[in-house]
Homo-oligomer: A and B are copies of this chain.
Amino acid sequence: MAKQKKMVEAITSMDEDFAKWYTDVVKKAELVDYSSVKGCMILRPYSYAIWENIQKDLDARFKQTGHENVYMPMLIPESLLQKEKDHVEGFAPEVAWVTQGGQEPLTERLCIRPTSEVLFCEHYRKIINSYRDLPKLYNQWCNVMRWEKTTRPFLRSSEFLWQEGHTMHETEQQAIDETLGMLKIYADFYAQTLAIPAIIGQKTEKEKFAGAKATYTIEPMMHNGVALQGGTSHYFGDGFAKSFDITFTGRDNTLQYPYQTSWGVSTRMIGAIIMVHGDDNGLVLPPKVAPIQVAIIPIAQHKEGVLEKARKLADSLSQTFRIKLDDSDNSPGWKFSEYEMKGVPLRLEIGPKDIEQNQCVLVRRDNREKTVVCLDNLMEEIPKQLQAVHDGLYQRALENLKEKTHTAHNYEEFLEIAENRPGFIKAMWCGDVACEEKIKNETGGVKSRCIPFEQEQISDVCVCCGKPAKYQVYWGKQY
């Protein structure tokens, strides 16, 4: 006989070592495997299924707002990448270069796309002629590559999966509306689907995207108080259009440059899910993207009728929910741990006594609350409980965000918080990059997260230099 499956092993506690806890969860929940190419990871079935649920939800939001999907080539000729000066400076240092095709060296080297602005621009130049061709609202789901030195699963990897929207508009205002509209879609998605609250706002000049006029960002806070840039939306003005000579005949019959945006989110969101919702027992998945929403665990399954009843339940519930029945010969205790590690939102226990009484037990992953439910009411009770898990996760994350957001009125206070209290720091800023540099250097890496849309007037002067303040900024360390 083969050996019994090993028990679910304990993982490092979050409070003890958050980084190790993260690596343990990623491994034990079977989310990724490392590959033999440095910094490139394998998405195993369980994490890829999360990604598919994310894609399905986001893609519907994009299509509802008039966007169409396309697919651009993965290779970019060096000369094309160089057409927009700021853009190439931002990306050229971190791309992978193809120099040989088949048996022959290439006459011009090609980079694997780190992002696809230049490819979209080249295509738009050909297909945009009149204001009637605008807006163009394109998106693509693809892999991109950035040659990172230090990598971590989901958070920073050389290759990752993402979506990148690229749109062209007749007027500046329309492009700005699109940029902010897509940021709103990301914020709604984070809240409604991932159960993650976040700060939204504008990046400072220093932190904006290479080639953009303005970058907007969504910044969720991880359980340990560290920020993760969760998604960005860029307004380009007509800078790329001018570099790529994209013009259209306007309503007044003059030749004009269109206004451009781009916006993207990636598999990094899975990292956010892990670090916002996870606990010492492993993953905790928001019900809307959980590959398994309800794990059915038969109790005393060797007793007559138990497995039969569990299978019937699984068959009927599978029509509506993502269900996994575990009828393996592992013990119920082992199964409880296993599906807790995998973050399954609800566990459904059913044993001989339950069957006698036409009931089962539902257990929430987020707070382990148990509810005895009549089998006739399951179709109403499961959605209610899934929603309760979603709301519970959102509420807990919101409390964490509030609790770990601090206000600094002066520089001493700022340094004290940066040193001792993990989280975001709200403080005023003069708008000078020198203050950003100084803060970063003197705090071991605290950077401006964003200038939030909802501004608070904490004081009149910059927390760093004391000159008149222009903005309230959220500051924090980041992944």
Query: Residues of A at under 8 Å CB distance from B?
Result: 1-3, 5, 33, 35-37, 40-45, 48-49, 51-52, 68-77, 80, 93-103, 109-110, 112, 119, 122-123, 126-127, 130-132, 138, 142-143, 145, 147, 149, 158-159, 161, 249, 251, 253
Contacts and interface: CB of A to CB of B under 8 A. Distances in A.
Contacts of A49: 68-69
Given A33-B127, A97-B100, A72 B42 contact: yes
A73 B35 contact: yes
B68 A43 contact: no
- Describe A's contact surface by its main secondary structure: mixed
A412 B337 CA distance: 73
Contacts of A161: 71
Contact of A94 (B48, B51, B80, B102): B102
A101 B93 contact: no
Contacts of A97: 98-101
Contacts of A119: 35, 42
B249 A2 contact: yes
* Identical subunits present: 2
Given A131-B2, A142-B143, A147-B101, A33 B126 contact: yes
A94 B101 CA distance: 7
Contacts of A143: 74, 142-143
A44 B70 contact: yes
Given A41-B73, A94-B102, 8 more contacts: A35-B123, A37-B73, A42-B71, A42-B73, A51-B71, A97-B101, A98-B112, A142-B143
Contacts of A3: 130
Contacts of A130: 2-3
A161 B140 CA distance: 13
A7 to B, nearest CB: 15
Contacts of A102: 93-96, 147, 149
